[in-house]
């Protein structure tokens, strides 16, 4: 696949906008009716038609993309109806699925995913995107795309060579030392990200949580979005809000009760269900609150 070439994938039950815009990945932006982003040093433009997702390669800083790069990243072969059938049959889940059926979990590169979510702590999605733009512009390999350049995600070795002050110029604040220690752990071999594929969810989570700045929530995001461990269930501000409002509308549950509920209610693909709830409350809560305010 050379720059300028185009491929097309027939798809069913796929919502590209919900998938790329639901806060799992931070390097995809909507341009007119297409989505542009960088994956493994390749700058793609994706479009959804009623029957297909088409992909155009706009530029690359590496010779050839892996043959199944997009198929794997976009999880085109995932059996979505089967996954949705494992969700609990209750009103909140039905509403969430009805609102964004076709939303898929991506399969991202572990290093990029780990760095992105270390940057995510107490940041809004727009700000996380801004941090990552700066990080890539300053430390990523340039990708020639037409007149201007885009940038690959910086390698662990490149970030390990940065000073904390250099990282702070990317507006990541107190997260800079966390990124630096993660980069050094990966570069030194102390943390082998490729090895986590073969570990159980609990073991892989524990390995990630050994990193300074990575707690349960960030570890679960990486397990879910990079390793496809669909029993991982990240609970952030929005998911906590969703669980409380949708499942415990009368009385606020204790933290322990909520945790137990999250770990037991959603079945083998709990992480997938979590993503539907996350996207659902984020895209619907404002209007719903507006309605409540009018009552």
124, 163, 188, 200: which one binds DNA (CB under 7 A): 124
SS3 200: coil
> Chain-centre distance of CA 189, in angstroms?
24
Q: Which stretch binds DNA (CB under 7 A): 5-13, 46-54, 86-94, 207-215?
A: 207-215
What whole-number distance in Å separates Cα of residue 53 and Cα of residue 55? 7
The candidate with the shortest Cα–Cα distance to 227, out of 191, 257, 201, is 201
Question: Taking CB under 7 A as the rule, does residue 97 contact DNA?
Answer: no
What whole-number distance in Å separates Cα of residue 238 and Cα of residue 244? 10
Question: Taking CB under 7 A as the rule, does residue 278 contact DNA?
Answer: yes
127, 187, 244, 283: which one binds DNA (CB under 7 A): 127
**Is 113:226 a contact under the CB 8 Å cutoff?**
yes
47, 72, 138, 216: which one binds DNA (CB under 7 A): 216
Mark 128-167 with x for binding to DNA (rule: CB under 7 A) and - for no binding: x-x-------------------------------------
Both structure tokens of 286: 């404002």
**How far lies 107's CA from each of 57, 75, 262, in Å?**
19, 7, 22
Identify residues 5-44 at the interface with DNA (CB under 7 A): 22-24
CB of 54 to DNA, least distance (A): 25
171, 184, 265, 284: which one binds DNA (CB under 7 A): 171
Q: How many residues bind DNA (CB under 7 A)?
A: 39
117, 227, 272, 276: which one binds DNA (CB under 7 A): 117
CB of 235 to DNA, least distance (A): 8
Question: Taking CB under 7 A as the rule, does residue 120 contact DNA?
Answer: yes
Nearer to DNA, 95 or 125 (CB): 125
Question: Taking CB under 7 A as the rule, does residue 275 contact DNA?
Answer: yes
Identify residues 230-259 at the interface with DNA (CB under 7 A): 234, 236-239, 241
Give the long-range contacts of residues 216-219, CB within 8 A, separation 24 or more.
218/117, 218/118, 218/120, 218/121
CB of 103 to DNA, least distance (A): 10
| Burial annotation 10-21 (CB, 10 A radius, 16+ → b, else e) | ebeebbbebbbb
Strands 148-151 and 42-48: unpaired
Q: Which stretch binds DNA (CB under 7 A): 12-20, 38-46, 123-131, 153-161?
A: 123-131
Burial of 176: CB neighbours in 10 Å, binned 0-12, 13-18, 19+: buried
CB of 275 to DNA, least distance (A): 5
Strands 52-60 and 6-10: antiparallel
Nearer to DNA, 186 or 219 (CB): 219
Expressed in percent and rounded to 5, the helix, strand and coil fractions of the chain are: 50, 15, 35
Residues that bind DNA (CB under 7 A): 22-24, 117, 120-128, 130, 168, 171, 173-174, 209, 211-219, 221, 234, 236-239, 241, 274-275, 278, 286
């Amino acid at each position: 696949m050379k720059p300028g070439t185009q491929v097309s994938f027939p798809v069913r039950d796929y919502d590209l906008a919900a998938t790329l815009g639901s806060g799992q990945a931070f390097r995809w932006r909507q341009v007119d009716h297409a989505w542009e982003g960088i994956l493994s040093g390749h700058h793609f433009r994706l479009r959804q038609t009623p029957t297909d997702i088409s992909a155009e390669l706009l530029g690359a800083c590496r010779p050839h993309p892996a043959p199944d790069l997009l198929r794997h990243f976009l999880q085109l072969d995932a059996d979505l109806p089967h996954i949705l059938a494992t969700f609990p049959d209750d009103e909140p889940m039905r509403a969430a699925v009805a609102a964004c059926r076709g939303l898929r979990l991506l399969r991202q590169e572990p290093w990029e995913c780990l760095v992105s979510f270390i940057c995510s702590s107490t940041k809004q999605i727009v700000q996380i995107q801004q941090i990552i733009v700066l990080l890539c512009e300053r430390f990523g390999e340039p990708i020639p795309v037409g007149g201007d350049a885009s940038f690959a995600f910086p390698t662990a070795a490149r970030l390990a060579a940065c000073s904390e002050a250099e990282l702070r110029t990317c507006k990541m604040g107190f997260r800079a030392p966390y990124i630096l220690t993660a980069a050094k752990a990966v570069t030194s071999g102390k943390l082998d990200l490729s090895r986590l594929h073969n570990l159980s969810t609990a073991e892989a989570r524990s390995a990630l949580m050994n990193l300074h700045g990575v707690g349960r929530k960030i570890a679960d995001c990486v397990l879910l979005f990079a390793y496809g461990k669909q029993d991982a269930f990240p609970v952030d501000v929005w998911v906590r809000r969703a669980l409380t409002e949708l499942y415990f509308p009368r009385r606020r549950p204790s933290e322990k009760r909520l945790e137990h509920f999250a770990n037991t209610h959603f079945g083998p693909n709990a992480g997938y269900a979590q993503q539907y709830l996350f996207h659902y409350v984020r895209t619907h809560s404002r209007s719903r609150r507006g309605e409540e305010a009018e009552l």
